[in-house]
Structure 1
Amino acid sequence: MLKTVIIADDLTGANDTGAILAQDGMKVGTILKTSDKDHFKDFDVLCISTNSRGMLPAEAYEKVKNAANLFENKEALFFSKRIDSTLRGNVGAEIDSIIETLGNDTIAIVVASFPNSGRVSIGDLLLVNGVPLQNTEVAKDPTSPIKSSRVTEIVKKQSKYSVGYISLDQVLKGEKVIKNEVLEKAKDNKIIVIDAQTLNDIDEIAKGCVESKLKFVAIDPGTFTAAVARVLFKREEVVKAAGKILCGIGSASNLTREQVNFLKSQRNPLIVKANTIEFLNKDLKEKEINRVVNEVVEKESNYNILVVTTTIDEKDVLDFSEIKNTYKFDKKECANLITDAIATIVHRIIDKLGNKIGGVYTSGGDVSEDFCTKIEAAGFDVKDEVIPLAIYNKVIGGVFDGMPMVTKGGLVGNKETLVTCVDYLETKISS
């Protein structure tokens, strides 16, 4: 079912933005001939190129208007006006067109940043790999030369509407402040330009804009559009993977907590934290294992990523000196009991959910080994290296023969590694 429409001023821009949304599991199509729109009935996202970057502003206005009017039920769709990452073309005229076509109550949110391509907006200045826009090659562009680095200035010169601005220092305060800033700026402006330096900034902007409940259109090179789509259409509704990803995480390092929390900020996982101290008490261990398993099984229907972990916050880390006095276990014995319990939980969840689980991610060598022992695996068919020391395999033998699995050391990678591994695993099981 169609959810998002992307109108770009050239074909490569349309495809580029579409590809970003496709990475989130959406079914994305690019229409080459508007007469063929009926061929794309089952797509989540449709991209259309107006090829209007080099046109006169009035012509570009009509092209965008005609593209938007291809869709009758506009109120039910999220629209994006994809702009060039260096602000070339008829940015202002096309913003005016999409605003007026979608209705007078529409606000245009301009987020010119594209961090993965080195484009960031700080202090209203668009920097390309650290260089102000006006000092780059686009200043000499034969059809759309850029003479200013200020995003608001470029938009104001081309649009007939007033332009508001939200600075990076406000963005860094998070979605609630952004929401309030957007609502305030929208009182006097039809267009709002917002700074962003990182992907996390853009995610916060997306959340704040959606929380504002304003009707808005995304004006950006693609990253902001994808972030809004993730907020509007929760990942579990659009992921086409052949099964869920189950993550068993036994490491209690600071890096592991960063990875779990980054996954939470970027995706929509179900995260269930085990009360690890109870794994050390033979009278409480089985009860806690069953609690975690049952919570995952009861809630899984709303999520495509299921995470069982021993730690989310620093306070979750056990004090082994105190444990030694209470339970008479040393650090190694405690770790063995905890990893065995996590492996048991992962095994039981798969046993209960069956084919709903398409792949497994385990963090911590002991968890991986204990899990494979419990499922009676003979070994791994090693397929690929996701990142160094995070390996994609297929299980050989045992009750889950052939299951896709990523194994990773507990102290491996950076904060983004868990997201990278989950995305990789989803790609493998969906194909």
Structure 2
Amino acid sequence: MPQVLVIGDDLTGSNATGARFARAGLRTISVSGVERVPCAMEADVVVLNLGTRHAAAGVARERVRDAALAAPFADLVVKRVDTTLRGNVGAEVDALFEVLEPGTRALVVPAFPDAGRTTVGGLHLVDGVPLAETFAARDPLNPVGSSRVATLLREGTRRSITEVPLDVVQAGAESVAEALSATDAELVVCDATTNAHLSTIADAAARVQDAGGPRWLSVDSGPFAVRLATALGIGPGVRALRPVLAVVGSITATTHDQVLETEQVLGARFVDVTLDALDPTAIAERARELARTGIRIVGIRTVPPAQGAPADPALAARIPGVLAEATAMLLDDGVFGGLYATGGDIAEATTEALGSSGFAIDTEVLPLAVAGRLVGGPHDGLPFATKGGLIGDRTAAVACLEHLITTIAGQQRGIPQ
């Protein structure tokens, strides 16, 4: 049975959300129409497009109720909404309350930071502009009349609504969990402006649910639902995925931002390597300790000297070899399912240390960032992705790592690669 049911009102948006679950390693099938759900029951995630964005509220309610009953045992139900909150948002959420188990509460997190959609003070913004002052207010079929999320929800429901402000979210997961536990409101609207905020809210919601609190209905535009599923322990319908080892030798500002994004989006954790601690055995052991925690991305990264501090060129020249040696030790453990390396010298040193003959290129994940498999040596066929330290925007490393996660999941399911 599917672990996640995503109910969307538009095919394009539904599929975009499905793609996010697929990149997280879950087998995802998208269908249009309730009658097609039985064809997707072997998937981890069923994305069901109902095409209700422009339908009358009564029709939308009926279709949503039928959709929820089509996969009643899903661990998480997601009501996918438009990034500009067009359509029958309140009515469709209200309909779900009628069929989901008693005590269910809706966590409304419409922010999509990567697309410029944020929520501050309960107001939804597009590139910093209040929603009601954007193109969404002029939509000929579904004009949006308010920037306040709660106001738009109340157009279709009379259920109680509260808001969790940005300062509470910025205070961390414990603060958000306290706020979620302190309210009896059926719909909780959360502010968020960054991917880190989405992760904080997801972690808090999982804590509350795991402690015997309500089951959550996710109402969002895509990125939050994947984080909530991860926080709730919902993973691929195979044995636990083998983690990816990320080796970061570049010390550019671009790489720094990309590594930060992997921490915020994928929950990656890194061992910091400084010039005064170039011991591959010790580095490898610290990475093993991280791997034992069950996280999906374990990394080794070079930390540049403090600003203004001199760097010993001889020590700096040792970094690629040291990281490569630590990588070889870790891969010999047989724990990791894929390898990501950033920085050309790091990638070259690593493949040499692994005894590989080369690198079979399968695809270009993004310009100048490629993925494929190692060729030859003891790790022949290991999924591998690499890019230069100055390549891509802040999401580039996430894209490479998500590609590797999907590849590993496919291998573990026995899907030909």
Would you say same fold, with TM above 0.5?
A: yes
Aligned: 1:217 with 2:217: yes
**Corresponding residue number in structure 2 for 1:59:** 59
How far apart are the structure 1 equivalents of 2:353 and 2:71?
Answer: 53
- Greater helix percent: which structure? 1
Q: Residues 190 and 250 of structure 1: is their aligned pair in 2 closer, same or farther, counting only changes over 3 Å?
A: same
Aligned: 1:249 with 2:236: no
Counterpart of 1:190, as a letter, is E
How far 1:230 moved relative to its partner? Answer: 2.4
1:69 alignment partner, SS class: helix
How far apart are the structure 2 equivalents of 1:319 and 1:211?
Answer: 43
Moved over 6 A (4+): 239-243, 316-321
How far 1:217 moved relative to its partner? Answer: 0.7
Task: Please give the root-mean-square deviation of Cα atoms over the aligned residues, in Å.
Answer: 3.6
How far 1:364 moved relative to its partner? Answer: 3.8
- Deviation per CA, 1:195-254, whole angstroms, max 9, x where unpaired? 22232222222222222223221112222222212222366x468999653222334566
Q: 1:363 aligns with which of 331, 339, 342?
A: 342
**Corresponding residue number in structure 1 for 2:2:** 2
**Corresponding residue number in structure 1 for 2:398:** 419
Bigger mean CA deviation after superposition, 370-379 or 158-167 = 370-379
Q: Residues 125 and 20 of structure 1: is their aligned pair in 2 closer, same or farther, counting only changes over 3 Å?
A: same
1:126 alignment partner, SS class: strand
How far 1:5 moved relative to its partner? Answer: 0.8
Q: Residues 192 and 421 of structure 1: is their aligned pair in 2 closer, same or farther, counting only changes over 3 Å?
A: same
2:70 alignment partner, SS class: coil
How far apart are the structure 2 equivalents of 1:386 and 1:342?
Answer: 24
Which runs of no fewer than 5 residues in structure 2 stay unpaired?
A: 411-416
Higher gyration radius (CA): 1
Counterpart of 2:399, as a letter, is T
Which runs of no fewer than 5 residues in structure 1 stay unpaired?
A: 280-284, 322-329
- 2:34–2:66: 8 Å Cα contact kept in structure 1? no
Aligned: 1:349 with 2:330: yes
Aligned: 1:308 with 2:300: yes
**Corresponding residue number in structure 1 for 2:321:** 340
How far 1:4 moved relative to its partner? Answer: 0.8
Q: Residues 30 and 386 of structure 1: is their aligned pair in 2 closer, same or farther, counting only changes over 3 Å?
A: closer
How far 1:98 moved relative to its partner? Answer: 0.9
How far 1:269 moved relative to its partner? Answer: 3.9
How far 1:11 moved relative to its partner? Answer: 3.2
2:276 alignment partner, SS class: helix
What TM-score results when the alignment is normalised by the length of structure 1? 0.79
- Deviation per CA, 1:295-335, whole angstroms, max 9, x where unpaired? 57x738x3543323344xx8x879986xxxxxxxx812222
How far apart are the structure 1 equivalents of 2:137 and 2:287?
Answer: 59
How far apart are the structure 1 equivalents of 2:253 and 2:136?
Answer: 43
- 1:182-197 residue pairs with structure 2 within 5 A? 182-184=180-182, 186-187=183-184, 189-197=185-193
Counterpart of 2:332, as a letter, is D
**Corresponding residue number in structure 2 for 1:97:** 95
Q: Percent identity?
A: 31
How far apart are the structure 2 equivalents of 1:394 and 1:37?
Answer: 35
Aligned: 1:288 with 2:288: no
How far apart are the structure 1 equivalents of 2:246 and 2:348?
Answer: 14
Counterpart of 1:20, as a letter, is R
- Deviation per CA, 1:151-190, whole angstroms, max 9, x where unpaired? 1112123211122122233323232222222223x32x21
How far apart are the structure 2 equivalents of 1:18 and 1:304?
Answer: 20
**Corresponding residue number in structure 2 for 1:299:** 292
Counterpart of 1:339, as a letter, is P
Bigger mean CA deviation after superposition, 101-110 or 240-249 = 240-249
- 2:122–2:148: 8 Å Cα contact kept in structure 1? yes
Counterpart of 1:3, as a letter, is Q
How far 1:359 moved relative to its partner? Answer: 3.8
Q: How many residues are treated as equivalent by the alignment?
A: 406
